[in-house]
Amino acid sequence: MKKLFPAMLAILFSVSVHAGENGLVTIKSRHSVADTMDRMEAVVQSKGMTVFARIDHGAEAKTAGLSMRPAQLLIFGNPKGGTPLMNASPTVAIDLPLKALAWEDGNGKVWLSCNSAAYLRDRHGIRGMEDLLGTLEKGLDGMTRKALE
């Protein structure tokens, strides 16, 4: 499994629009920011995960008298997945619960971004949790793709 994990990550990243060095996996959406996030929230809830918060950055900017392109952040998770990672490396709690960001670029295109499991592993030095990280990566990929259908 240890040898299979990097290959699985490479396959997952190859089907994503962009998996940057910054640890984000970003996929283009054909929906608006609000619709993309509505869909992502519904998928997350259908998987039995908890939605902790949904932040509309554009709306918050507007209340401060500022403008920005649409951007919404969903914060979600499940202690069954996150707790073992935090036990392995307490600093991963800075990146958990999981987050998904729907955002509009300067050309009016909408994107959905999430941290990759490989990023979390490398950033926090998580070792010996390949199965759980693989499940996390597969789950995030499946949820984002379902939301973008």
Angle CA(82)–CA(88)–CA(90) in degrees, nearest 5? 75
Which is more confidently placed, 11 or 118? 118
User: What is the rounded average pLDDT of the residues 88-93?
Assistant: 97
- Please give the model's pTM, rounded to 2 decimal places: 0.85
Is residue 26 within 8 A of residue 20, CB to CB? The reply is yes
Least confident residue range of 2-16, 56-70, 81-95: 2-16
Least confident residue range of 4-13, 39-48, 72-81, 125-134: 4-13
Domains of the chain: 24-147 (3.30.310.70)
List the one residue out of 149, 120, 146 whose CA is nearest residue 45. Answer: 146
Is the model's pLDDT at 72 over the cut of 70?
yes
How high is the pLDDT of residue 18?
58
